[in-house]
């Protein structure tokens, strides 16, 4: 078995992030737009926090990725928990490199950093690491992997305690008065190249149904106040938050129609 090594992402190896997360799609024009948005965000995070991604290398090749940052870095939360590190995602897209300990080494490296005084916490002691796992249907589900790495479930979150005890997050409350009743708003995240891509697909899908309905795409980190006012709902159409995604196109279209026609 080849040797696994872990490196923090800095300006020097920033492109390895995309070699992992966008593998096989690096030349796709829309993917390139998502990558550009994320590269800009990553550079700002590296300047402010030193790093926010770890990459695992197997025999020198970047194969797995782990992204994290202090909750206090997130601009679109009404309150944040001190010393909490958000583990956003872990990903190894390479079938032949799976089950070789690359992602386990990434999580171990993050835990080890959090037990010390990592630069990204700016002198604050780490209380716990928290993640909201999601399932893409690819590889091992994140939830299963985190559980095997020692994380335990607390409500919607999975956590790993370092120096503190778990504290519940404060959830935002949806207020329909804050929504634009004449348009659709799609919120995307610059932290993942796929988020922008899926926002453009959602815009296109709405345009097919209602070509005259304005659709605003909002970068959550660039315009946190807009995201906050919508309680971080990812898609709001004429004042109605939409729950279905494009994966279930029939339900998605039905919800959009209900939101548009129910509002007139
Ligand atoms: C979960 C995931 C990251 C695991 O990646 P990986 O690099 O294969 O992980 P590891 O090799 O470290 O661990 C996988 C398994 O191998 C085992 N393992 C760990 N070290 C090992 C080693 N040195 N040798 C052999 N097996 C090992 C682990 O215990 C683990 O077993 P488990 O599944 O029973 O818990 C990967 O399957 C994946 O990408 N899943 C999709 C996650 C996703 O959707 N991400 C979001 C994308 S945006």
pLDDT value of position 263: 73
Q: What structural domains does the chain harbor?
A: 4-161 (3.40.630.30), 176-262 (3.40.30.10)
Left, alpha or beta for 137 (phi > 0: left; psi -120 to 50: alpha)? left
CA–centroid distance, 145 to ligand 1, in Å, is 6
- pLDDT of the chain along its 264 residues, tens only? 569 999 999 999 999 999 999 999 999 999 999 999 999 999 999 999 999 999 999 999 999 999 999 999 999 999 999 999 999 999 999 999 999 999 999 999 999 999 999 999 999 999 999 999 998 999 999 999 999 999 999 999 999 999 999 999 999 999 999 999 999 999 999 999 999 999 999 999 999 999 999 999 999 999 999 999 999 999 999 999 999 999 999 999 999 999 999 876
Residue among 139, 196, 198 whose CB has most ligand 1 atoms within 8 A, to mutate: 139
Are the C-beta atoms of residues 87 and 131 closer than 8 Å to each other?
A: yes
CA 138 – CA 156 distance, rounded (Å) = 21
CA–centroid distance, 106 to ligand 1, in Å, is 10
3-state SS class at 61: strand
CA 127 – CA 129 distance, rounded (Å) = 7
CB under 6 Å to ligand 1: residues? 64, 89-92, 98-104, 136, 138-140, 142, 145, 148
Stated as kind and residue range, the H or E segment containing 157 is strand 157-161
**Helical segments of 141-192, H only:** 142-148
Residue among 3, 92, 97, 198 whose CB has most ligand 1 atoms within 8 A, to mutate: 92
- The residue whose CA has the least distance to atom 47 of ligand 1 is 91
């Amino acid at each position: 078995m080849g040797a696994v090594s872990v490196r923090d992402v800095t300006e020097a190896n920033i492109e390895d992030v995309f070699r992992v997360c966008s593998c096989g799609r690096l030349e796709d024009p829309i993917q390139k737009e998502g990558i550009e948005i994320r590269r800009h965000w990553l550079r700002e995070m590296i300047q402010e926090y030193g790093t926010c991604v770890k990459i695992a290398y197997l025999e020198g090749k970047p194969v797995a990725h782990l992204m994290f940052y202090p909750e206090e870095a997130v601009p679109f939360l009404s309150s944040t928990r001190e010393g909490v590190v958000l583990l956003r995602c872990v990903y190894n897209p390479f079938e032949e490199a799976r089950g070789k300990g690359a992602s386990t080494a990434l999580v171990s490296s993050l835990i080890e950093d959090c037990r010390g005084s990592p630069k990204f916490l700016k002198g604050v002691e780490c209380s716990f690491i928290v993640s909201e796992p999601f399932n893409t249907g690819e590889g091992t589900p994140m939830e299963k992997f985190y559980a095997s790495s020692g994380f335990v479930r607390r409500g919607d979150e999975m956590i790993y305690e370092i120096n503190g005890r778990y504290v519940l997050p404060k959830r935002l409350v949806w207020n329909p008065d804050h929504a634009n009743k004449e348009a659709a708003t799609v919120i995307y995240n610059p932290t993942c190249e796929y988020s922008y891509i899926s926002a453009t697909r959602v815009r296109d899908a709405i345009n097919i149904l209602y070509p005259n309905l304005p659709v605003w795409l909002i970068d959550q980190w660039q315009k946190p106040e807009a995201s906050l006012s919508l309680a971080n709902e990812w898609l709001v159409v004429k004042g109605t938050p939409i729950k279905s995604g494009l994966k279930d196109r029939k339900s998605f279209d039905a919800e959009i129609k209900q939101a548009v026609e129910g509002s007139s």
